[in-house]
Amino acid sequence: MTAQPDASPPAPADVSLGIGKLVVPSLIGGLVALTLGVYGRLHHPTGVVVNIAGFTSAGYVKSWLATVATAFAIVQVSSALVMYGKIPRVNAPSWIGSLHKWSGRIAFLVAVPVAVNCLYGLGFQTYSTRVLLHSLFGCAFFGAFAIKMLILPKRGLPGWTLPLAGAVVFTVLIGVWFTSAFWFFSTFGLHR
């Protein structure tokens, strides 16, 4: 995103107008998270999880996919820092925007099947702190991601909105990964 030159004359009105543009995306994102959580809670989980040949179990498939998504999410944060000029002595190369967009798309698309398997197979569960946190983070992630995608094309937003949205999405995803794949690998061993 090109940095907005601070040439907007009536600052207070502009900011309030800009923040107003966040309302609808935030409501939609909240609705996404809520829908996922309610579905996961109401739907009777089947325990059916699709396995992929070459992996020990579906748990490993999900853990590796989540790890791949998290790795791309780290690329996301790194490329964003470069784009915003936050890394000293590193000038943003011309391809950094494409890297940022495509790493984000891949991370999101890799995370989707994991989430479907979780919600369909296991549901929104609360039987331990880890599981409760994971359920909350997982639903929140897709809500936060939806918000970020919806505000991305909007112009005239305060400069902090996109970095904040990106940071929230990233933080929540790390929470998701830590309460699932990290736990899974450390409990059952790091292999396929």
Partner 1 sequence: MKPNMPLVTLLTGAALGVGVLVASMLSPSSTASASGYGATPAASKSMAVKPAPASSASGGTSAAAPATTSATTSAPAPATTSAPAPATTSVTVPATAPATAPGTVPAATASVPKADVPSKADYVARTDSGGAAVAISVHAGKAVAYMCNGHAVAAWLKGTAKAGKLELTGKNGARLDVSYRTGKATGSIMADGTKYSFSAPLVHRGSSGHRPPGLYEATATVHGVKIKAGWVVLPGGSQVGSVEYFADADVTPTAQAPVLDLTTGTAQYDGVTLVASLISGFTGSGF
Residue from 20, 31, 34, 105 binding partner 1 (CB under 8 A): 105
Contact 59, 153 (CB under 8 A): no
Smallest distance from the beta carbon of 9 to partner 1, in angstroms?
28
Stretch that binds partner 1, among 2-10, 75-83, 85-93, 119-127 (CB under 8 A): 119-127
The reply on whether position 9 binds partner 1 by CB under 8 A is no
| Piece of 6-14, 38-46, 71-79, 83-91 that binds partner 1 (CB under 8 A) | 38-46
Task: Single out the residue of 114, 80, 113, 72 nearest to residue 97, CA to CA.
Answer: 80
Cβ 75 to partner 1, closest distance in Å? 16
> Residue 36: what are its φ and ψ, rounded to 5°?
-60, -45
Task: State yes or no: residue 47 binds partner 1 (CB under 8 A).
Answer: yes
> Is the CB of residue 56 less than 8 Å from the CB of residue 192?
yes
Q: Using an 8 Å Cβ cutoff, are 34 and 76 in contact?
A: no
CA distances for 68 relative to 65, 90, 108, angstroms: 5, 26, 10
Of 64-72, 84-92, 103-111, 166-174, the segment contacting partner 1 by CB under 8 A is 103-111
Which region, judged by CB under 8 A, interacts with partner 1, from 9-17, 77-85, 101-109, 170-178?
101-109
- The correct pick among 73, 150, 165, 169 for binding partner 1 (CB under 8 A) is 150
CA distances from 33 to 27, 28, 36, 60, 127 (A): 10, 9, 5, 25, 20
- Interface mask toward partner 1 for 153-172; x: CB under 8 A: x-------------------
Query: Residue 154, SS3?
Result: coil
Residue from 113, 102, 34, 40 nearest 72 by CA: 102
Binding site for partner 1 (CB under 8 A): 44-51, 56-59, 101, 104-105, 108-109, 112-113, 115-117, 120-122, 125, 127-128, 131, 145-146, 148-150, 152-153, 186-189
